[in-house]
Structure 1
Amino acid sequence: MKVTISDIAKAANVAKSTVSKVLNDSPKISQETKHRVREIMKQMNYTPSSIATQLARQSSYNIGLLVDMSKESEFLNQFFYNIIGGIESVIVSLKYELTISNVQHSNPEGHFLNRLVLSKRVDGIIANNSVLTEDLSAELVRLQFPFISIGELAGSAGWVDFDNELGGRMLTSHLLEQGYSAVAFIGGEEKEKIFTHRCNGYMQALHQSGFTVHKEWIVNCKANEHEGYQAALKLLQGENPPDSIVCMSNYAAFGVLQAAKELGIHVPSQLGVAAFDEYPLSRYTTPPLTSLNIDTFKLGVASGHLLMDRILYPDNPPRHVLLEPELIQRESTRRNS
C-alpha cells in the first residue's frame, strides 16, 4: 500500500500542509522540523510522486547526460562510467532514468536543445563544462531549465568540481615536506581554468613556505607523455634544474619519469615526481607515482544531488560544490620516510 502525505503527517504529528512545505523546502518551517519529517519519509520509504508538482508539469522522469561523441576522451575512459554510476545511485531512488545523449553542436535540428529541452524529453541535464559553453548555459538559464555542470562554469548555473587549487597546494606542500626545495610545474594550457587553478595552488604553497616562484619552472604544454618528456628534458638539463616536479596529469608524469631515467637522474633521491589524477598509470609506473585521487563516482553523486534539488526546488538559488581530492603517497616522492 502506497505511503501518502497524510501517513507522513500522522507519523510526524504535524499537519499535511507542514509536510507539503517540507517537500518544497519552505523557509517558514524550522530546520529541526524539516529534519524530523524527512527522516520519517526515509523510514517509511516515501517517494514524492515527483510531488504532484511534477505531474502538473508532465514530468518525463528522465535526466539527460550530454556527451560530445566527437571526442573519444569524453566517453572512452573509466571516469565517464564512474560518473554515470554516481548519478544513477542518486536518481534511481527518485524513480528517474538516465539518458545519455550526443550534444551534436554541428547539427541545429539534432541539437540537444531541440531534441531534449524544448521537446521536454528530459527534466534536467548534466554535462561537462567542455560541452556546456557559456552561451548554452545562458540559454538554459533563460529557459529556466534545470541543469548542472560538471566543472566550474561562469554565470548563474549550478556546478560541481574538485578543488583543483587545493590539489595544487597539496601536491606542492607534500614535496616540500619531503625535503625538496625547487619545485617545477609541467603541463596544461595557459588559458585553461583547470590549469589556472592547479598552478595557483602550486604557487600558493611555495609562497606560504617562503619559496620563490620561478616562472621558467612553469611549463605550459599538452599534459601527455610526449610533451611531459620533452619539457622535463629541457628543465632537467637547464642551468637551474628543479629537484621536484608537479605534473598536470599522470601521463605527463610518465614522460617525466622517462626523461629522468634517460638522464640518469634517480627518482626519488634526486628528483621527486607527483601528479594529478590516480587513473590509469600512477600505481604501475617505476617507481609508482604519488598522485591525487579524484573520485569521479563522488562527482557523479554530487551532480545528481544538485540536479534533483534544481528540479524539485526550482526557487532555490543554484549551488556550487567543491570536492576535496585525496593524496596518495608512493615511492616517487618518498624521500623522508
Structure 2
Amino acid sequence: MKVTISDVARAASVAKSTVSKVLNDSPKISPETKRKVREIMKQMNYTPSSIATGLARQSSFTVGLLVDMSKESEFLNQFFYNIIGGIESVIGPLKYELTICNVQHSQPEDHFMNRLVLNQRVDGIIANNSVITPELSAELDRLKFPYISIGEINAPGSWVDFDNKLGGSLLTGHLLAEGYSRIAFVGGEQGEQILTRRLNGYLQALQQAEQPVRPEWIIHGEADEQVGYRAALQLLQLEERPDSLVCMTNYVAFGALRAARELGLDVPAQLGIAAFDDYPLSPYTTPPLTALNLDTFQLGITSGEWLMERLRSRETPSRQLLLEPELIPRESTRRGAGGR
C-alpha cells in the first residue's frame, strides 16, 4: 500500500500541515522537527506526490551541477570549465539554466537532496562520481529523479566517463614501442577509482609485453607538480632506475621534467615521459609532452544530452559510456624503437 502524507504525520506525531511544511523547507519548522520527519519519510520509503507524478509539469527549467567545494581539485581544475561549456551548449538552446550547487553543508537539513530534489528547485542533476554514491544513486532512482554521473559509478544509474584503463594501456604501449622497457607510474592517490583504472591499464600493458612489474616504481600522491618532482628525483636516483615515466597528469609530468633537468638526464634519449592529459601544459613544455587528449567538452555534451532525454521521458533506460582517449605522441618519448 502506498505511504501517504497522513501516514508520515501519524508516525512522526505531527500534523499533516507540518509534514507539508517540511517538504517545502519552511523556515517556520525547527531543524530538529525537519530531521525527525525526513528520517521517518526515509524509513517509510515515502515519495512526495509531486516527485512521484513527475516534475515536468512543474519544471523549474534549471539543471544543477553538483560540486564539492571542499575539494579544490574539482572546481579549480580546468577540465571543470570545459565540462560546463559542453553542458551549456546542450541545455542553453532548450531554455534551461545551469546552476552550480555546493554539496557540502554543515547541517543535515541543508543536504542537497532536501534543498534541490525534494524542494524541486532543479529538474535534474549532473555530478561527478565522488558525489553520486551508490546509496545516493539508489535514492534518486527510487524518486525517479533524473541524474547523470560524470565518472563511472558502481550503481545502475547513467554515467559517462573516459576509458582510463585504455588510456593507461595506450601510454605504456607507446613507451614500449619506442624502445623503453623500465616504465614507472607516478601520481594519483590510492583508493581513487580513476587511479585504479589507469594503473590497471599500465599493469596490463606491461604484463602483455612480458615486462616485470616493479612495485618500487609505482609512486602514489596528489597529481601535482611537487609530487611529480619529488617522485622523479626518488626514482631516478635508484641503483636500478626506470627509463620512462607514465604520469597521472601533465602537472606531474612537468615536475618530472624539472627533476630530469636537475639530474642532467636528456629527455627523451635517457628518459621518456608521458602524461594522461594534454591540456594545458603538454604542448608547451621542453620538450613537448606525449599525452592523451581527453575531450572533456564532449563529456559535458553527452551528460547534458542524456539528462535532457531523461527529462523528456522518465522511462528512458539507464546507460553507460566510455569515451576513448586519443594518443598524441610528441618529442618527450620519440627516441625510436630499440633506442637506449
TM-score by length of 1: 0.80
Shift in Å, 1:240: 1.6
Answering whether residue 288 of structure 2 is matched by residue 288 of structure 1, we say yes
Q: Which moved more, 1:63-72 or 1:160-169?
A: 63-72
The amino acid of 2:148's aligned partner reads I
SS of the residue aligned with 2:110? Answer: coil
Aligned to 2:228: 228
C-alpha contact 1:186 1:245 (8 A) present in aligned 2: yes
For residues 222 and 149 of structure 2, the distance between their equivalents in structure 1, rounded to whole angstroms, comes to: 24
Answering whether residue 61 of structure 2 is matched by residue 61 of structure 1, we say yes
Answering whether residue 320 of structure 2 is matched by residue 320 of structure 1, we say yes
Shift in Å, 1:280: 2.1
Give the total of aligned pairs. Answer: 285
Aligned to 2:13: none
The amino acid of 2:78's aligned partner reads Q
Note closer, same or farther for the CA distance 1:267–1:56 as it changes in structure 2 (3 Å cut): closer
C-alpha contact 1:187 1:252 (8 A) present in aligned 2: yes
Note closer, same or farther for the CA distance 1:92–1:212 as it changes in structure 2 (3 Å cut): same
Answering whether residue 255 of structure 2 is matched by residue 255 of structure 1, we say yes
SS of the residue aligned with 1:273? Answer: strand
Aligned to 2:161: 161
* Matched ranges for 1:1-337 at <5 A: 57-336=57-336
Aligned to 2:19: none
C-alpha contact 2:56 2:311 (8 A) present in aligned 1: no
For residues 63 and 300 of structure 1, the distance between their equivalents in structure 2, rounded to whole angstroms, comes to: 13
For residues 206 and 56 of structure 1, the distance between their equivalents in structure 2, rounded to whole angstroms, comes to: 51
Aligned to 1:17: none
Note closer, same or farther for the CA distance 1:269–1:116 as it changes in structure 2 (3 Å cut): same
Q: Deviations over 1:141-165 (max 9, x none)?
A: 2222110111111112111111100
Note closer, same or farther for the CA distance 1:56–1:313 as it changes in structure 2 (3 Å cut): closer
C-alpha contact 1:64 1:98 (8 A) present in aligned 2: yes
Shift in Å, 1:303: 0.6
For residues 234 and 99 of structure 1, the distance between their equivalents in structure 2, rounded to whole angstroms, comes to: 44
SS of the residue aligned with 1:335? Answer: coil
For residues 247 and 293 of structure 1, the distance between their equivalents in structure 2, rounded to whole angstroms, comes to: 14
C-alpha contact 1:310 1:318 (8 A) present in aligned 2: no
TM-score by length of 2: 0.79
Shift in Å, 1:127: 0.7
SS of the residue aligned with 1:126? Answer: strand
Shift in Å, 1:54: 7.0
The amino acid of 2:191's aligned partner reads K
C-alpha contact 2:277 2:293 (8 A) present in aligned 1: yes
Q: Deviations over 1:255-293 (max 9, x none)?
A: 111111111111000100001111222122221111111
Percent of aligned positions with the same letter in both sequences?
68
The amino acid of 1:185's aligned partner reads F
Q: Which moved more, 1:137-146 or 1:267-276?
A: 137-146
Question: Gapped runs of 5+ residues in structure 1?
Answer: 1-52
The amino acid of 1:187's aligned partner reads G
For residues 246 and 170 of structure 2, the distance between their equivalents in structure 1, rounded to whole angstroms, comes to: 10
For residues 224 and 127 of structure 1, the distance between their equivalents in structure 2, rounded to whole angstroms, comes to: 23
Runs of 4+ residues over 4 Å off in structure 1: 53-56
Aligned to 2:29: none
Q: CA RMSD in A?
A: 1.9
Aligned to 2:24: none
